[in-house]
Amino acid sequence: MGVARYLRSAWAALPGWARWVLAVYLTGFADGTAAHARDLARAGFHAYSGFPQVPLRVFFISLVFLDPLVVVLAALVLPAGIWLGSIVMVLDVAANTAGNWPRVQRDPAWPFTSVGLLLIIVFAVFVLGTAPAMLRITKIARDSAPHSGAHPAR
C-alpha cells in the first residue's frame, strides 16, 4: 500500500468536522511557513534582528522548519502533528509577546489589534482549543488506516 492510499484511508476515517479542523491547521501552519520563509529570503538570518533576545531570533528562524513539519505530520493524520502544532503555537505567542513587550507595556491592547498579534492569538486559541478532540480522533484515524510498510511510523 502506498502513502496515497494511507492518506485517503486516514482522512476518510475522520469525521467531517475533523477534516475541516485539520484543513485550518494545514492552512495556518503553511501560512506561517511562507511568512517566515519570506522574512528569511528578504533579510537572511538578520530577519529578526529587531528582537534583542537571541533565543527569540533562533526560535523565529526555526519556524521555517517547525511549521512545515507540523503541516506534514498533521496531513498524515498523526497525533504528533497536533502535539507539535500546540507546542509551536504556545511558544509563538510567548515569543511574540516577549519580543514585543515594550510595545505591550505602552499599549496593552496592541496584541489584540490587526497589526498586533491578533491572528496569531486567534490561531493559537483555535489550535489549543481543538487539540484534545483532535488528539483523540487522529489516534482513531491512524489506528483504523490500513497497515503496511508504507504506513507512517507511529
Give residue-wise pLDDT tens across range 85-114: 999 999 999 999 998 888 889 998 988 887
pLDDT in the model for residue 139? 87
Distance between CA atoms of 132 and 85, rounded to whole angstroms? Answer: 12
Kindly calculate the radius of gyration of the chain based on its CA atoms and give it in whole angstroms.
17
pLDDT in the model for residue 152? 54
Closest CA to 127 of 31, 29, 16: 29
Q: What tens digit of pLDDT does each residue of 70-86 get?
A: 999 999 999 999 999 99
Residue 14 has which C-alpha cell? 475522520
Q: Answer yes or no: are the C-beta atoms of 127 and 25 closer than 8 Å.
A: yes
Q: Answer yes or no: are the C-beta atoms of 79 and 142 closer than 8 Å.
A: yes
For the chain, which ranges sit under pLDDT 70? 1, 145-154
Q: Answer yes or no: are the C-beta atoms of 14 and 141 closer than 8 Å.
A: yes
Distance between CA atoms of 143 and 128, rounded to whole angstroms? Answer: 23
Residue with cell 497525533: 79
Closest CA to 141 of 22, 34, 14, 26: 14
Q: Which residues contact 101 (CB under 8 A, 6 or more apart)?
A: none
Distance between CA atoms of 142 and 79, rounded to whole angstroms? Answer: 8
Residue 40 has which C-alpha cell? 528569511
pLDDT in the model for residue 144? 73
pLDDT in the model for residue 42? 92
Whole-number mean pLDDT of the chain? 89
pLDDT in the model for residue 148? 46
